[in-house]
Structure 1
């Protein structure tokens, strides 16, 4: 329904009695599900969506790489793209699930920041409903769930409003990799030389680029450029360049056919001349090695 997964009945005393409701509207999906008994689910790594789990009753134990979280009616679980997950669904557990397309979250984040993103959006994996923010977000999700369950025909305008309200509330309320910038009013008024360099990097990312090249293009000193990026983008010009190149390498590997030299060729194409460092940075960014991306 959401993606390919490996589902196993964990306990001999358990039986599968699955009940599902799921509806996709626009770039989000809303579902309600239970399995009856104790089930272990190992989904494929999400590439293009976030999955939010909200138990109505019962609980789930979720492994996210090396981290483990407990998902309860008081603690919402969030699974980010590129993270390997294993979900242990306990008996008599029922949950709401919200699937949000990655591109929708990225688009709304870019609109808030008024710039191109240079790293993946990753949310903290749990949200407490006992906080004011958690209570308001849960109220929004409950309303959306009831609305899409009852309405047969939802207008495009209403779909757009639901998408934007849900995602913007999540970006503003749930700690994530862009929270500092989202809540920093100075981000939207970055000086023109910062925006100019961002555009230059996007357009020339495949070419050799040094900090001196960027300083010369921007018309300010390297130090001023570094300080501008640090203040308004919370990064450095060269790190911004590296993040863009990693994303281009990922896109190439995802679409490439298998071949022993493909990783090396693509790494060199995007300026990564040390394969060990490239693999380490790549896995940190995408949660898998370049060879794993190529093999899928």
Structure 2
């Protein structure tokens, strides 16, 4: 088992290492503190997916701390609950993989009738298809990296089957040290608040490198022949940027093709190969993700579910609710009720 690198050692001693400043002008980082379990649930759910907690002691007050920074689609989160509780993650077909890297103390992970102790020097990748129970204690802390499913799932059915089954915790060794060093580099840049990650193009490039390194660690035999041709082409990024900027606009495939600057057939091939999706499916998922953020953030202003659905060009309320539940494991009205409880 490898010892913690200097960066991770600093993170284990500083729960706000990746967010030394409160909310930035670009909204890329945030910090949350609370003694209340439901506030803790809401803070973590906001960047990952719905889940629940079960306190070990009635009326227990926590020393919860959550600092978060993000690139474009991938979020980095330092989390300590500051108390004894179970975190229950059982919602089906969740929207993200989560790479869990313990920073200090010991937490326990239970899944598929097995249990592991997670300590500094280990790591695990949570599958969106598997249920988990994490037991946390007062002193433990971890880094959780949230990765949208489409960024890590591959066109290789065998690889996706392995991902769907869930990956057991592993000790950090030579095969994973490079990935951990790169994560340390990213977290150091968050800590510095420097200019490097302010560029959208740089953030996208950093994400692509991170994904390639993670896949290489998970599937070394499948990735051994990767060449420069496997780098996500610029037209895919152009299409993604265009769609991200026009989530509330009535855009069509022709508009996306024009923004990408390639023929429709080429665009479909690029999304199929590098995103395991189609352009319109990618747009739909982004709209649902943003709709969820609007529901979580807009409870105080009396936001209505149907208004949010219409904002993202989903005019059939029943179909919106069904597809929302498939993605996030709860109805949009349940998300809104949960957010209202935190106000």
> Which TM-score band (shorter chain)?
0.5 to 0.7
Verify: 1:62 aligned to 2:107, yes or no.
Answer: no
- TM-score w.r.t. structure 1 length? 0.53
Q: Aligned equivalents of 1:206 and 1:24: distance in 2?
A: 29
Q: In the alignment, which residue of structure 1 is the partner of 2:323?
A: 281
Verify: 1:186 aligned to 2:229, yes or no.
Answer: yes
* Contact 1:53–1:71 (8 Å) recurs in 2: no
Q: Aligned equivalents of 2:261 and 2:189: distance in 1?
A: 44
* Contact 1:252–1:266 (8 Å) recurs in 2: yes
Q: In the alignment, which residue of structure 2 is the partner of 1:236?
A: 278
- TM-score w.r.t. structure 2 length? 0.47
Q: Aligned equivalents of 1:249 and 1:124: distance in 2?
A: 28
Q: In the alignment, which residue of structure 1 is the partner of 2:293?
A: 251
Alpha-carbon shift at residue 249 of structure 1 (Å)? 0.7
Alpha-carbon shift at residue 86 of structure 1 (Å)? 3.9
| Pair 79,258 (structure 1): closer, same or farther in 2 beyond 3 Å | farther
- 1:61-100 to 2 correspondences below 5 Å: 61-62=109-110, 70-72=115-117, 76=123, 86-88=133-135, 96-100=140-144
Q: In the alignment, which residue of structure 1 is the partner of 2:213?
A: 172
Q: Aligned equivalents of 2:265 and 2:211: distance in 1?
A: 35
Alpha-carbon shift at residue 274 of structure 1 (Å)? 3.1
Q: In the alignment, which residue of structure 2 is the partner of 1:7?
A: 55
| Partner SS, residue 169 of structure 2 | strand
| Partner SS, residue 71 of structure 1 | strand
Q: Aligned equivalents of 1:262 and 1:201: distance in 2?
A: 24
Q: Aligned equivalents of 2:114 and 2:103: distance in 1?
A: 13
Q: Aligned equivalents of 1:275 and 1:158: distance in 2?
A: 40
- 1:35-46 to 2 correspondences below 5 Å: 41-42=86-87
* Contact 1:54–1:95 (8 Å) recurs in 2: no
- Deviation string 1:26-68 (CA, Å, 9 cap, x unpaired) is 97648798x8xxx6524799xxx975458977x83536xxx66
Q: Aligned equivalents of 2:116 and 2:278: distance in 1?
A: 37
* Contact 1:215–1:222 (8 Å) recurs in 2: yes
Q: Aligned equivalents of 1:243 and 1:250: distance in 2?
A: 11
Which structure is richer in relative contact order (CA contacts within 8 A, separation 6 or more)?
Answer: 2
Pick from 312, 317, 335 the counterpart of residue 270 of structure 1: 312
Q: In the alignment, which residue of structure 1 is the partner of 2:175?
A: 133
Alpha-carbon shift at residue 261 of structure 1 (Å)? 7.7
| Partner SS, residue 56 of structure 2 | strand
Verify: 1:198 aligned to 2:245, yes or no.
Answer: no
Pick from 216, 221, 230 the counterpart of residue 263 of structure 2: 221
CA RMSD of aligned residues (A): 5.5
| Partner SS, residue 299 of structure 2 | coil
| Pair 30,86 (structure 1): closer, same or farther in 2 beyond 3 Å | closer
Alpha-carbon shift at residue 263 of structure 1 (Å)? 1.0
- Deviation string 1:163-207 (CA, Å, 9 cap, x unpaired) is x9xx9879834659xx98xx7743535144x33332322222212
